[in-house]
Structure formats: C-alpha cells, structure tokens
C-alpha cells in the first residue's frame, strides 16, 4: 500500500472546524488508496501560551519540565484529529512521540532525531488502521524523558517520518498555497512557483522565508524526500502547491528563483584589531560560545604607525540577529578584558536588513551580481556588506529601504514571469 505523510500546521488545526477540514483532506487521500501518517502541530497560539505558563511559573525553569509542558499542545491536537477521523469512519489512531517511539538526543528544546522505528505503526496498518496521527515537535531521549525539537519542529518531524517510512511524498499544509518568488505582502508581482530545488528552498528558508523550517529542508534534501507545500484552506489536487524536489526533477531553472529578506539584522564592527595568526578564531570562538549566530563576515586589513613601527590591523565586520547584539558585545568586551583580542572600538548598527537573491541557475550564468547592484544603485540604496555563495548573493542595507530593495530586485530579475 503506498504511503503518504501529511503535516498540518497550527493555523490549519486552530479549532475544531479547521481540524474537521484537515480530516476531510486526509480522508480523501485514504479514498485514493493511501495509508497516511498525519503529523500535527499544536493549535495556533497554544505553544506560546504554554511557554508563557512555564516562564510565569519558573523563570529559571528545568528544561526537562519545559519540554513536558510545551509538547502537550501537539498531544491534544493528535487526539482530536484521530477522534475526528473516526467520526468520519476512517480507522485512525493517535501517537505521542514516546509511543512510536521517536528517538532523539537529550538536548531539550533543540533535540535531533536518532531513529524512528517502523514496527509499531506498521503493525497498526497491518491490522487495518488507515491513518496514524502523530504529535509533531516531540520525541523521547535515551533517558526516557520527553524532548522537543525547537520551533518549526513539526515540519522536521513530517520529513523524518517520510524518510523513515519511504513515503511517496510529504505534503506540508499551511496557510499559504505554495512557495512564492518573494513575500506577496511586499509586492503583488510575487509569483507562486510550481517547483523549486532543495538547495534553493534551503537558502530561502535560512535567509528568512517562513514557509518551511530550515532543518526540514536539510533533511528532505539528504534523504530525497519530495515535499509539497500547499494550502489547508483551498481545494487542492495533484498539481496544487509547490513541489520541493531534486534539481534533476526541474527541466529548466531561471537564473534567480526568489528574493528573500531578513528584517531584524545587526552589523557589528571591531575597529583596528591588532592582526596576527589566529585572530579570527579569537574573535569568533567567544561569539560561538556565547550563542551568537554570526552570518556575514567581512575583513579589511591595513597598517598603522606606532612610534615608527608599522603594525598590521584589521577591521572585522560581522552580522547577527539584532536581539543577540548585547550578547555579542559582552563576548567581545570579555575577550578584550582577558587579553585574547585587542581592538580600539566596537561599532554597532542595529538598523539594517539582509536582502538576498537565490537561484541554482546562478551556477552557469554570469552577471547576476552586476544586475543586483545596478538595481539597488538605481534606487539609491547603499550596500554595507556583501556575501556570496554558489547560488545566492546577500547584501546588508539600511532597514528602511528593505521593501524597496525587494521590489526592485524582483523587477530586475523579472521574477513575475514564468
């Protein structure tokens, strides 16, 4: 019997009416001959409520108990979905993470998958059950404690089950009808993509696109799980949504597939750092230990005159999420106080945004950077930092110009055209 994985996010199961709507979509796939594994999130807003309860009870909370509380939202949804399917005469059973079991590491609130044994769910399918409804976002540690996977973890759960059960496809139902060339709220020229390569989707997800969780795309790419992103609130067929697939499954790609942005960025510069071998490690080691997520890095090397001696210095610029600036500043001040590094000034700019163009076609086409920079220059948008990879170019700009930059780049690369 072919198997399908269907994942429903929080907005798709926000109340009993929406759970019934999602259940009808599951029933339709069962009628088409599939066994179905349904992965559910907590009802919209429920996880935030549970987190608030934990923080209100214990500001310095035990991470194990935190996971026990915040994972409960998915358990409720799984049970309600199974009950709804049973009312529709679809044989269904709900599963919590520990019942499967979804084996994970012991890193509470950021656990990673170790294994997902098939035998228990396969046995239920053999008994005649058609649907296994599994609580997403959670698993069980080697110590037998409930773990959670971090925000967006239900997407990753769905992909992991699709890989473990050799599913024909993994359908991610959400509140949008697919992956767009950019955020439709910024430009009405944004176009829904029929297909997008894993690598492009991974870059877009990591650069700020909210459609899929980054880890889920990484997992799908590693195990070649075909993902389909589609709307819970529209009638769908086999051609609906956006298929995230291997590059070989796409006949011809545009040079640029999409424009992504991240609004809440900051730029920090260590001015006149005395240069020596290992100085980069001395800077970014403490940042890593402090949990600062460094993204773009630029180094400018020069010389200064100290009493007739010429000494090499470097200005080291990096970007990070704006809410991590205090942590980054403290890490650098502590490193300076300990003598690990020596700089004259730490300059921060918390009013920047990152805008990126992404496309696997960039591998074989020249001129993408020139087109990007000309489009920004035409709008008098100054570029502060540039970073590139094989299939993306990212720039830091003043945040007030972010939406203008996205619109200009979308037009420059004619992304509204199929």
Residues 151 and 291 both lie in one domain: no
Q: Is the pLDDT of residue 309 over 80?
A: no
Quick: pLDDT tens for 6-61: 999 999 999 999 999 999 999 999 999 999 999 999 999 999 999 999 999 988 89
Residues 168 and 267 both lie in one domain: no
Consult the annotation and say whether 180 binds a ligand.
Answer: yes
Consult the annotation and say whether 174 binds a ligand.
Answer: yes
What is the CATH classification number for the domain harbouring 284?
A: 3.30.2130.10
Q: Is 375 left (phi over 0), alpha (psi -120 to 50) or beta?
A: alpha
* pLDDT the model gives residue 203: 85
Residues 350 and 266 both lie in one domain: yes
Which range, 80-94, 253-267, 362-376, is most confident? 80-94
Do the domain assignments include residue 198?
no
* pLDDT the model gives residue 250: 79
306 confidence band (pLDDT: 50, 70, 90): low
Q: Is the pLDDT of residue 105 over 70?
A: yes
Do the domain assignments include residue 229?
no
Quick: pLDDT tens for 261-276: 999 899 999 999 988 8
Q: Is the pLDDT of residue 345 over 70?
A: yes
307 confidence band (pLDDT: 50, 70, 90): low
Do the domain assignments include residue 228?
no
Pair of tokens at residue 136: 């997403």
Do the domain assignments include residue 226?
no
Do the domain assignments include residue 220?
no
Q: Half-sphere exposure of residue 365, counting CA atoms within 13 Å on the CB side?
A: 17
The average pLDDT across 274-296 equals 92
Consult the annotation and say whether 9 binds a ligand.
Answer: yes
Quick: pLDDT tens for 79-104: 999 999 999 999 999 999 999 999 99
Rg of the chain over all Cα atoms, to the nearest angstrom: 24
Consult the annotation and say whether 32 binds a ligand.
Answer: no
Residues 163 and 277 both lie in one domain: no
Consult the annotation and say whether 10 binds a ligand.
Answer: yes
Quick: pLDDT tens for 144-201: 999 999 888 899 999 999 999 999 999 999 888 889 999 988 999 999 999 999 999 9
- Integer Cα distance of 134 and 98 in angstroms: 10
Q: Of 149, 175, 201, which one is at a domain's C-terminal end?
A: 175
- Integer Cα distance of 8 and 4 in angstroms: 13
- Integer Cα distance of 158 and 413 in angstroms: 34
What's the domain range around 152?
Answer: 3-175
* pLDDT the model gives residue 213: 82
What is the secondary structure of 79-129 as a DSSP string? HHHHHHHHHTT--EEEE-GGGTT-EE-S-TTS--EEE---HHHHHHHHHT-
Residues 19 and 128 both lie in one domain: yes
Do the domain assignments include residue 210?
no
Among 223, 250, 173, which Cα is nearest to 5's?
A: 173
Residues 255 and 148 both lie in one domain: no
* pLDDT the model gives residue 304: 60
The average pLDDT across 217-242 equals 89
- Whether 352 and 267 have beta carbons less than 8 Å apart is answered as yes
Residues 153 and 252 both lie in one domain: no
Consult the annotation and say whether 7 binds a ligand.
Answer: yes
* pLDDT the model gives residue 340: 92
**27 Cβ partners below 8 Å, 6+ apart?**
85, 88, 90
Do the domain assignments include residue 180?
no
Q: Of 131, 157, 175, which one is at a domain's C-terminal end?
A: 175
- Whether 9 and 73 have beta carbons less than 8 Å apart is answered as no
Pair of tokens at residue 328: 């980054």
**235 Cβ partners below 8 Å, 6+ apart?**
none
Do the domain assignments include residue 399?
yes
Consult the annotation and say whether 47 binds a ligand.
Answer: yes
- Whether 245 and 197 have beta carbons less than 8 Å apart is answered as yes
Q: Is the pLDDT of residue 247 over 80?
A: yes
* pLDDT the model gives residue 380: 97
Q: Of 141, 158, 175, which one is at a domain's C-terminal end?
A: 175
Overall number of domains in the chain = 2
Consult the annotation and say whether 211 binds a ligand.
Answer: yes
Q: With a threshold of 0.85, does the pTM exceed it?
A: no
* pLDDT the model gives residue 260: 92
**Does 357 sit behind a cis peptide bond, omega within 30 degrees of 0 on the bond before it?**
no
Q: Is the pLDDT of residue 221 over 90?
A: yes
Counting residues of the chain whose pLDDT is more than 70, the rounded percentage is: 97
140 confidence band (pLDDT: 50, 70, 90): very high
Mean pLDDT of the chain: 92
């Amino acid at each position: 019997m072919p198997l399908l994985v269907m994942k429903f996010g929080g907005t798709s199961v926000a109340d009993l009416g929406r759970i019934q709507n999602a259940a009808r979509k599951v029933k339709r796939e069962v009628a088409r001959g599939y066994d179905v594994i349904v992965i559910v999130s907590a009802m919209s807003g429920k996880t935030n409520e549970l987190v608030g309860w934990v923080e209100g009870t214990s500001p310095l909370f035990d991470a194990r108990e935190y996971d026990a509380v915040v994972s409960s939202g998915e358990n409720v949804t799984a049970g309600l979905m199974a009950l709804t399917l049973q009312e529709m005469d679809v044989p269904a059973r709900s599963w919590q993470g520990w019942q499967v079991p979804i084996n994970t590491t012991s890193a509470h609130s950021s656990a990673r998958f170790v294994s997902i044994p098939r035998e228990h769910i396969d046995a239920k399918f053999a008994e005649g059950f058609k649907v296994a409804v599994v609580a997403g976002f959670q698993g069980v540690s080697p110590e037998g404690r409930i773990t959670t996977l971090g925000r967006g973890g239900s997407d990753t759960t769905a992909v992991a089950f699709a890989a473990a059960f050799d599913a024909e496809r993994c359908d991610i139902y959400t509140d949008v009808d697919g992956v767009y060339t950019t955020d439709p709220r910024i430009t009405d020229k944004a176009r829904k993509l029929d297909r997008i390569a894993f690598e492009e989707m991974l870059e877009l997800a990591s650069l700020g696109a909210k459609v899929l969780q980054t880890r889920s795309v990484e997992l799908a790419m590693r195990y070649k799980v075909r993902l389909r992103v589609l709307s819970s609130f529209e009638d769908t067929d086999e051609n609906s949504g956006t298929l995230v697939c291997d590059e070989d499954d796409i006949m011809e790609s545009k040079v640029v597939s999409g424009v992504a942005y991240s609004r809440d960025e900051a730029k920090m510069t260590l001015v006149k750092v005395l240069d020596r071998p290992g100085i980069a490690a001395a800077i970014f080691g403490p940042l890593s230990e402090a949990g600062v997520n460094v993204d773009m890095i630029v180094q400018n090397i020069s010389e200064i005159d100290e009493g007739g001696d010429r000494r090499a210095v470097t200005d080291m610029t990096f970007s990070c999420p704006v809410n991590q600036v205090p942590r980054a500043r403290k890490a650098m001040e502590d490193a300076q106080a300990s003598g690990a590094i020596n700089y004259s000034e730490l300059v921060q700019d918390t009013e920047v945004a990152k805008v990126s163009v992404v496309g696997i076609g960039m591998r074989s086409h020249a001129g993408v950077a020139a087109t990007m920079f000309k489009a920004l220059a035409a709008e008098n948008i100054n570029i502060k930092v540039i970073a590139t990879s094989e299939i993306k170019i990212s720039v830091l700009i003043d945040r007030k110009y972010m939406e203008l930059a996205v619109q200009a780049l979308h037009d420059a690369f004619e992304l509204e055209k199929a």
